[in-house]
Structure 1
């Protein structure tokens, strides 16, 4: 049985989540959560995590699925003889549309996955962190939580909500050796940006490559973030030496929000 801290990463099969799994694998036992078990299983196999990687399939946007998932996490904690000490709430979804075409269902779906699901998981796992005397929670938000982008009202609001409870909970847990932070990436080379580029292509007639370049130009550095860059920041935040950093919204955007 490994003595490595137990880390739960949501949305772990692709993009930022997979990069986080790679960054944490050398020093953590991993719980990899996401909707596609096959993708997660391949990720677990490819990581070669020395302390083990366990796959948990779940659609975190569904309340009933979250309840079953948390029961499964509790069962794994018992099997492993450890409690989750690191929680990376990375799973999320985006939506881009003018206000008039942003429906109630779009709004509710984004809040359910981007804001409510991370809160529910955090609420369930914090007691174990407190009992163990140590914990790290990192929420993957967005620069959309810090500034305005046209056609992203629902997405921006859901990420701003995530950031709001991050700050409140950080203060609440400050004396418990449990930190709560948010990372706010700018446009990052993930499936979400690929979808955004295709949407721009469909609505403007520009090529997908031109659309990607337009998104990259939001950053003064003129490029998209890489998932590994974001993962490196998250890996630093979960280190014991980062205990003095809590309640922060750490932008990783090449200077866009400077």
Structure 2
């Protein structure tokens, strides 16, 4: 198995994209620490190489102590996937500072803290992969979601900077930028859009699917497959990149 003996950490690993990536890594032999705020959600999917760790990425102390605990149990982290995030939108004039800061603390600060702490042990190993789950909104912006778009632009900035900082070493840094993915977030956003616009929930869901170039929702397994490619031993020349998962060229 490609990742036998390796320790991976996936934030937001109890559901959706994070869970799909965690399960794919475990299937290749990795011992995967999955984190999230809800212990019951993590424990429901733990086992078969997945290890639950309650951790709120907004809380620096929890990230520091949580990752120390995971490393003590399973060794240095060699694959880290900073996936935990909030996908909520508000127009500019409806965006108060509390909303803005909550998005940034989760999506951007959380990714920074996760990467920083995971790298402490990774730097002492001979191989590593750092992946953030960004979004197409991190490349082109999303109407009505300025805070979310800014946070996802920010994590791409982190990846590009760290790839330069550690250039020539055994660790790569890349971002996944999917369009609309078939997750619970789409279900919640479908209801929110329907309430705001008068569309039916199904019409709102279809509108999101139509925003993808191939006019369908992307599966979590498709995103996980892209992550596994970035984690392949022969992917070392792919570094500082944004992998668009959008069903076609991004305009």
Which structure 2 residues correspond to residues 1-258 of structure 1 after superposition, within 5 A? Answer: 4-26=5-27, 27-45=29-47, 49=48, 52-61=49-58, 63=59, 66-80=60-74, 82-255=75-248, 257-258=250-251
Aligned residues between the structures: 248
> Normalized against structure 2, the TM-score is what?
0.94
Tell me, what secondary structure is at the counterpart of 2:163?
helix
Q: CA distance change for structure 1 residues 239 and 179 in 2, over 3 Å: closer, same or farther?
A: same
Residues 35-61 of structure 1 deviation map (CA, whole Å, 9 limit, x = unaligned): 11111111114xxx2xx3221012212
Instruction: Say if 2:63 and 2:113, in contact at 8 Å, map to a contact too.
Output: no
For residues 69 and 208 of structure 2, what CA distance do their matches in structure 1 show? 43
For residues 77 and 157 of structure 1, what CA distance do their matches in structure 2 show? 31
Instruction: Say if 2:57 and 2:113, in contact at 8 Å, map to a contact too.
Output: no
For residues 214 and 24 of structure 1, what CA distance do their matches in structure 2 show? 32
Residues 85-141 of structure 1 deviation map (CA, whole Å, 9 limit, x = unaligned): 000000000221211101111111111111111111211221321211211000000
Instruction: Say if 2:22 and 2:50, in contact at 8 Å, map to a contact too.
Output: no
CA apart distance, 1:78: 2.3
Instruction: Say if 2:129 and 2:173, in contact at 8 Å, map to a contact too.
Output: yes
Unpaired stretches in structure 1, ≥5 consecutive residues: none
Q: CA distance change for structure 1 residues 75 and 98 in 2, over 3 Å: closer, same or farther?
A: closer
> Normalized against structure 1, the TM-score is what?
0.92
Residues 127-184 of structure 1 deviation map (CA, whole Å, 9 limit, x = unaligned): 3212112110000000001113210100000000111111010111122211010000
For residues 83 and 104 of structure 2, what CA distance do their matches in structure 1 show? 14
Q: CA distance change for structure 1 residues 256 and 189 in 2, over 3 Å: closer, same or farther?
A: farther
Instruction: Say if 2:57 and 2:114, in contact at 8 Å, map to a contact too.
Output: no
For residues 161 and 76 of structure 2, what CA distance do their matches in structure 1 show? 23
